[in-house]
Homo-oligomer: A and B are copies of this chain.
């Protein structure tokens, strides 16, 4: 079967470039494309059944988002993130998300609060069943709702990009024992701050949780070999 053709079929209203961006982004996040891997245009074109123009445009988008990196005449490669850079990214993400949390609380939308509570209880349930996969999905949703409640479109998009970037190394963070319970407690705290209308407190809670991930990462990567981060 020609795998390439499916691309053209799938796109209903999406343009080819968008499809390619999503596809490659997904593969990078999932680790199917490893950091440092060379992205040879002709090769990818053939595999995907597309031509170089849309691929190169997709490359530019992904580069802007930090998923790819290139030097002129040397070609694109999947961005290679050092531990230090990853820490840098986490610091930014912590700030952006805590800002969003602050704004979300200030907006005082009862429907948002309701949604957060629902997700929170759902997470408690799947945590008891030790379903980390389901938990991760709900967790993402929880923070997505929080971000969107900021009603700041630019911020929402920015956070989305940064979350995706850190998720490339999520596996590491989430496999840590106790992390799940800490996460649940954190959500509880945020919801409580939300109920109190204490935006600053919610902001601090959110920031602390994200920054804590850095510790986990640092610990992990000083023990084990830096591998091919």
Contacts and interface: CB of A to CB of B under 8 A. Distances in A.
A170 interface: no
A141 B56 CA distance: 34
B88 A154 contact: yes
Contacts of A154: 66, 85, 88-89, 92
Interface string A80-91: 000001001101
A63 B18 CA distance: 13
Interface residues on A, range: 20 to 34
Contacts of A85: 153-154
Interface string A56-82: 110011011110000010000000000
Interface string A86-122: 0011011001100100010000000000000000000
Contact of A155 (B17, B65, B91, B158): B91
- Residue from the set A13, A53, A152, A154 with the largest chain B CB neighbour count within 10 Å: A154
B88 A155 contact: yes
- State how many copies of this chain the complex holds: 2
A15 interface: yes
Contacts of A64: 60-61, 64-65
Closest 6 CB pairs of A and B: A64-B64, A60-B60, A88-B152, A95-B99, A15-B72, A57-B60
15 contacts: A13-B72, A53-B53, A53-B56, A57-B57, A60-B60, A64-B64, A64-B65, A85-B153, A85-B154, A88-B155, A89-B154, A91-B99, A92-B99, A92-B154, A95-B96
